[in-house]
Amino acid sequence: MRIQKFLSRAGVASRRKAEALVLEGRVRIDGTVVTELGTKVRPFRDRIEVDGEEVRLPDARWVRFYKPAGVLCTTMDTHGRRTIFDLLPREHATLRYVGRLDLDTEGLLLLTNDGDVANRLQHPRYQVEREYEVSVRGVPSKKDLARLRAGIVLDDGLARPVRVEAGAPVEDCGHITLVMAEGRKREVRRLLYALGYPVVTLTRVRFGPVKLGGLAPGEWEILSPRDVAALRECAEEV
């Protein structure tokens, strides 16, 4: 990690002010003054000091949250609508969400202060799976399910699910389990709409190795060390 990024993440100063601290010779790594921007540090191995005081990154926090439908993934809404941070306790207000869910979509939302891992989990390069339970208007035929498995060209390119499973329909609504390996905007809704099946309800039940579990809408819990380790494994360099 670059030294100025480390200092910013550690809460010492903004990125720009952190650069000034380095250029002024106020930063030491393992006892050696560094004045070159972009100098790399190993956050949990090197001893980093500013003006003689040791600086450390805050402990990584990970939260599993059941976002209800009708709640926005944003810190604040100018129209006064509820956001996820209206439902979460104040100590989670500085966390960032990993892969937003749109207003009408519910289910698993991960939040963390571990920005590097969060960025990798969301990047298409890492192919981290997202699993959804979808209810649609109408019951998809076997032919349409085959088209869905083969992939459909949307306005931003080909979208092909990793897995498609059809469940038992309820009245005139079909039920589909979809697994995607990227997080394009409203991708699941656009896929099914392109087939002629508007989405009625959409719930994310898994992100990578982490499942929604027994949470009810609006509930949250701290991720176990085992789940955090599994997420970090997904985000290792490829």
Residues involved in catalysis: 102
Inter-CA distances, 236 with 27, 120, 206, 229, Å: 29, 8, 19, 11
Tokens standing for residue 59: 């402990």
End-to-end CA distance of the chain: 17
Task: Provide the pairing of β-strand 48-50 with 27-29.
Answer: antiparallel
Q: What is the DSSP letter of 227?
A: H
Tell me how far apart the alpha carbons of residues 127 and 141 are, in angstroms, rounded to a whole number. Answer: 28
What value, to the nearest 5°, has the Cα angle with vertex 186 and ends 78 and 158?
145
